Amino acid sequence: MNKDNKLYSDTHIRNTLYIEIDIGILANIILLLFHVSFYITGHQPKPTDLPIGLLALIYLIMLLIKDFIDADIYTPWGEDGVT
């Protein structure tokens, strides 16, 4: 495999991972806002509301950390202005 094909496949892998992470972040933000709005409006919490909210928060933090790590891995030297 020559260098051009490797760069082409790395770009597609990078874009696929970023899209997957961004969809997960967006879904968890919506889930957290949904649960927070229940508490603000005075909804009587069920026993499953707290674990669902905490899992969404933990997964959101995990995806944000993964996004920063993947950005470091898949950004070639010199592309972001740092040489």
At 31-65, the pLDDT tens digits run: 888 888 888 898 888 888 888 888 888 988 888 88
C-alpha span between 18 and 66 (Å, rounded): 10
Pseudo-torsion of CA 21, 30, 64, 49, nearest 10°?
-120
- Structural contact between residues 10 and 74, judged by C-beta atoms closer than 8 angstroms: yes
Burial class (CB within 10 angstroms; exposed 0-12, middle 13-18, buried 19+) of 40: exposed
At 11-26, the pLDDT tens digits run: 777 778 788 888 888 8
Instruction: Break the chain into its structural domains and give their ranges.
Output: 24-41+49-74
Residue corresponding to tokens 């603000």: 40
